Amino acid sequence: MATATAPPASLPPSPEPSMLRPRAGTGRRRFKSGLATFFIVLTFVIALVPLVLVVAYIVSKGADVISKDFLTDDIAFSTRSTEGGIGPAIVGTIVITLGATLMAVPLGVLGGIYLNEYGGASKFASLVRFLSEILTGVPSIVMGLFIYTVWVLPRKGEGLTGFAGSLALACLMLPVIIRTSEEMLKLVPRELREGSLALGSRKSRTIRTVVLPHAAPGIVSGALLAVARAAGETAPLLFTIGAATSANWNLFKGPNNALSLQIYGNATSPFEPAVARAFGAALTLIVIVFIATALARIVTVIYTRRTSGAS
Amino acid sequence: MTDTFTPESTINAVVTLPPTVTASGDETADGAESPPREVVFDLNGVEVYYSGFRAVTDVNLDVTRNEISAFIGPSGCGKTTVLRALNRMHDLTPGAVVKGKISYHGEDLYGAKVDPAEVRRRIGMVFQKPNPFPKSIFDNIAYGPRLNGTRKRSALDDIVERSLTRAALWSEVKDKLKSSALGLSGGQQQRLCIARALAVEPDVLLMDEPCSALDPIATARIEDLMEELKQDLTIVIVTHNMQQAARVSDRTAFYTAEADDQGKRVGKLVEYDVTERMFTNPSDPRTEGYITGRFG
C-alpha cells in the first residue's frame, strides 16, 4: 500500500491500510466465538457418550453369546436353563413388526395426506390432528391393555397371537406416522404444486407424482423412527402375544414371542446364562433395527432417484 | 394428446383499434378502423376477494388473440391476482373468491359445468420463480402430455423435442435430457417451465413476472421467445418492469391500489390501451404519473 501513487489533492485521502486490520474488541469477540464453539462441541460429545456406551456395552456383553445355535435354537422352557437360543423371538419380532408396519404405515401416510392436502383447517381434520397428538403421548402399555381387552379377551384361548401384538404396535406407530407425514407434506413448496396444477393435473395426480416423491425421504424417516421404536417395545406385547418357545411364522395363529420379551424375561432372572442371553438378544435386536433402517434408506434413495431422474 | 383446442362458441367482438396498432395487416389503408379481432378473455366487473378482503375490483378488459397483453402497476395493485383468476388458480387458495364475469372464447370461465383442470390445460401458466419438478428434463416436459394420456415413447420424444425447440432450449439440453432439471441455470429453468407449459399445446400462456429472477441476457431470450410464441397463442404477462411491457406487449393494462370509502386499499384497473399509446399519450393522469416515474 505504501507504494501506491498519491491521489490528487482534491480527492479525499484513500483509506488507511489499518482499516483492514481487526477493530478494537475483536479479541473479545474471537474469544466468545471460541468459547461458544467449545461448548457446542462439548455438548455434542456429552450427548454421544450414553449412545456409544450403550452400544459398546451391549456389543461387549452380547457378542460372545451370539452363535448360529443361539440365533436359531428354540427358547428354553425355563430361564434357568443353560441351553436354548432365541430363534423364535427373532422370528416373532420380525413378523410382528412387519405386520404392524404394513398396517400402520399406509394408514398413517394416508392420514397425513388427508390432514395436509384435503382436511386443512376443517373441524374433522382438527379433531383428527388433536386426537393423534394425544395418542402420541399414550403410554405403550395402555395400547397393550386396549388390544388385550378388545381383541385378545373376546377370542378366549385363541386370542394370544402375533397379530394381536401387531395391532398393539400399529396403534402405537399410527399417530407418530400421521403427524410426521403431515409435517413433511407441509414442507413441499407451493410452487411445485401450482406448477403441476397449472398443467391441468388433478389434485390426486399432483399429490401422487409431485408432492409425495418430494416428501418421501422425510416420511420414510418418520416411519422408520416409529418402526424402530415399535420393534423394541415390550409393554404392548406382554399380554397380547403369549410366550411361544418354538418358532411361529404364522401371525394369525398360536402364541408368538419377541426379542424384547426375551430381554425382559432373561435380564430380570438372577441366573448368569439368562443374563448373557438377554445381552445376546439385545444385540440381535439392535442389529435387526439397524438392517431395517439401512434397507429403508436404500429403497428411499432408489425411489427418489427414479422419480427425480437424477443419475 | 387431445386435439388442439377449438372454441365451441367464438365471439367475434368488435374491438376498435386505433390506427397505431401493432400487428401488421390490421390497419386499413386509410388508417381508420381495423378489422375485428377475436377476443380470448372478456373480463366484466371482475373482483377478487381473499377471505372477505377485497384485493382488486372493477376490472373490465378484453384480451385479444395472438397478442401480448401486459399488466403493470405498483406492488399490491392486484395485477397478479387478476392473472391468476384467468386460469382459475384461485380455486386452490382457501378463501379466495372471484366475482364478476370472465368469459373465455365467450364461455363463462367460472360456469358450473366448467372443469378447472380442463381450463388450466388450455390456459398455461409460467410463474415468477422457475419451478421445475425435481425430475429429469425429459420428465418435466413429458409431465403434461402424460396427463393427457400420451404414453408412447416415440410420441413423447417428439413432443419433448418440439416443446424444447419452441422454448429455445433444445440445443442446450438435447444431450442431457435424462439429467435433473434442477441442474440447469435460472434462465434455462424458466425456459424449461415455458417448454413444459407449451408441451400441452395451450391456447393461452399466462406469465407472472417470468423474468424477475433472471439476468438481462436471459430476459432478452425470453422476450424474443414471447414474440415468436404469439404467432400461435395469446400471452398475458404481469411485469414490474415497464420497459419490458413497452418492449414486448401489444396492449398494456395499468393497475393501481387506492383507498376505498372505508379506507381499505384495493387494486383497480386504471387504464387499458394499446401499449404505444399508454406509453406516449395515456389518458389518465395516474398512468402518466406511474410511467414517468412520479409514483409507484
In this prediction, residues A34-45 reach a mean pLDDT of: 97
Residues 6+ apart with CB under 8 A from A99: A162, A163, A165, A166, A170, A251
- What is the model's pLDDT at position A40? 97
What is the interface pTM, i.e. ipTM, of the complex? 0.81
In a domain, A150, yes or no: yes
- The answer to whether residues A216 and B133 touch, using CB atoms and an 8 Å cutoff, is no
In a domain, A310, yes or no: no
Packing angle, helices A87-113 and A259-267, rounded to 10:
130
Band of pLDDT at residue B24, cut at 50, 70 and 90: very low
Contact A309 B132 (CB under 8 A): no
In a domain, A299, yes or no: no
Structural domains of chain B, with CATH: 39-291 (3.40.50.300)
Compute the distance between CA of residue B253 and CA of residue B238 in angstroms, rounded to an integer: 9
Mutation choice for A interface testing from B147, B177, B180, B182 by most A CBs within 10 A: B147
Q: What is the pLDDT of residues B135-181, one digit of tens each?
A: 899 999 999 999 888 889 999 999 999 999 988 899 999 999 999 89
Q: Does B267 touch chain A (CB under 8 A)?
A: no
Best CA proximity match to B64, nearest among B15, B27, B135, B25? B15
Contact B127 A195 (CB under 8 A): yes
Compute the distance between CA of residue B213 and CA of residue B223 in angstroms, rounded to an integer: 14
Q: Which three cell numbers stand for residue A289?
A: 433395527
The alpha carbon of residue A117 is apart from the nearest alpha carbon of chain B, in Å, by 11
* Cβ burial, residue B283 (10 Å; 0-12/13-18/19+): exposed
Phi, psi of B124 (to 5 degrees): -75, 165
Q: What is the pTM of this model?
A: 0.79
List of E strands, B138-288:
204-208, 234-238, 251-259, 265-274
Q: Does B212 touch chain A (CB under 8 A)?
A: no
Q: How many CB atoms lie within 10 A of CB B278?
A: 26
- Evaluate if residue A5 carries a pLDDT over 90: no
Q: Does B77 touch chain A (CB under 8 A)?
A: no
The alpha carbon of residue A127 is apart from the nearest alpha carbon of chain B, in Å, by 19
Q: How many CB atoms lie within 10 A of CB B97?
A: 13
User: Strand order of the sheet with strand B107-108?
Assistant: B107-108, B96-104, B39-50, B53-64, B265-274, B251-259, B68-72, B234-238, B204-208, B123-126
- What is the model's pLDDT at position A3? 52
Band of pLDDT at residue A304, cut at 50, 70 and 90: confident
Q: Does A201 touch chain B (CB under 8 A)?
A: yes
Residue B227 region by backbone torsions, left for phi larger than 0, else alpha for psi between -120 and 50, else beta: alpha
Q: What is the pLDDT of residues B251-277, one digit of tens each?
A: 999 999 888 788 888 999 999 999 999
Q: Which three cell numbers stand for residue B135?
A: 425430475
DSSP B61-128: EEEETT-EEEEE-STTSSHHHHHHHTTTGGGGSTTEEEEEEEEETTEETT-TT--HHHHHHHEEEE-S
Q: What is the pLDDT of residues B62-119, one digit of tens each?
A: 999 999 999 999 888 889 999 999 999 998 888 899 999 999 999 999 999 999 999 9
The DSSP symbol for A179 reads H
Band of pLDDT at residue B2, cut at 50, 70 and 90: very low
In a domain, A212, yes or no: yes
3-state SS of A119-165? HCCCHHHHHHHHHHHHHHCCCHHHHHHHHHHHHHHHHHHHCCCHHHH
Show the CA angle centred on residue A48, arms to residues A45 and A49, nearest 5°. Answer: 90
Q: How far is CA B260 from CA B56, B58, B151, B254, B285, in A?
A: 11, 12, 53, 18, 19
Size of interface A-B (CB pairs under 8 A): 84
Contacts of A311 in chain B (CB under 8 A): 178-179
Contact A194 B193 (CB under 8 A): no
Contacts of A200 in chain B (CB under 8 A): 117-122, 144, 147-148, 200
The DSSP symbol for B281 reads S
Q: How many CB atoms lie within 10 A of CB A108?
A: 27
Helices H, strands E: what count in chain A? 12, 0
CATH number of domain containing A227: 1.10.3720.10
Q: Which three cell numbers stand for residue A136?
A: 402420541
The partner residue sitting opposite B144, judged by closest CB among A121, A194, A199, is A199
In a domain, A27, yes or no: no
Domain residue limits at A123: 89-259
If one counts the domains in chain A, the total is: 1
Q: Does A308 touch chain B (CB under 8 A)?
A: yes
Q: How many CB atoms lie within 10 A of CB B139?
A: 23
Mutation choice for B interface testing from A199, A208, A214, A304 by most B CBs within 10 A: A199
Compute the distance between CA of residue A267 and CA of residue B280 in angstroms, rounded to an integer: 90
Q: Lowest mean pLDDT: which of A187-201, A256-270, B26-40?
A: B26-40
In a domain, A265, yes or no: no
The partner residue sitting opposite A192, judged by closest CB among B133, B139, B147, is B133
Band of pLDDT at residue B11, cut at 50, 70 and 90: very low
Question: Which is more confident, A140 or B23?
Answer: A140
For A307, the closest chain B residue by CA position comes to B135
The partner residue sitting opposite B180, judged by closest CB among A120, A198, A310, is A310
Contact B118 A311 (CB under 8 A): no
In a domain, A110, yes or no: yes
Q: Does B88 touch chain A (CB under 8 A)?
A: no
In this prediction, residues A284-304 reach a mean pLDDT of: 87
Compute the distance between CA of residue B66 and CA of residue A13 in angstroms, rounded to an integer: 60
The alpha carbon of residue B88 is apart from the nearest alpha carbon of chain A, in Å, by 9
Write out the H or E segment, with its range, that includes residue B244: helix B242-248
Report the first-to-last Cα separation within chain B, whole angstroms: 45
Phi, psi of B198 (to 5 degrees): -70, -25
In a domain, A282, yes or no: no
Compute the distance between CA of residue A188 and CA of residue B184 in angstroms, rounded to an integer: 20
Compute the distance between CA of residue A103 and CA of residue A151 in angstroms, rounded to an integer: 16
- The answer to whether residues A293 and A224 touch, using CB atoms and an 8 Å cutoff, is yes
Residues 6+ apart with CB under 8 A from A156: none
Q: Which three cell numbers stand for residue A298?
A: 436404500
- The answer to whether residues A205 and A195 touch, using CB atoms and an 8 Å cutoff, is no
Band of pLDDT at residue A287, cut at 50, 70 and 90: very high
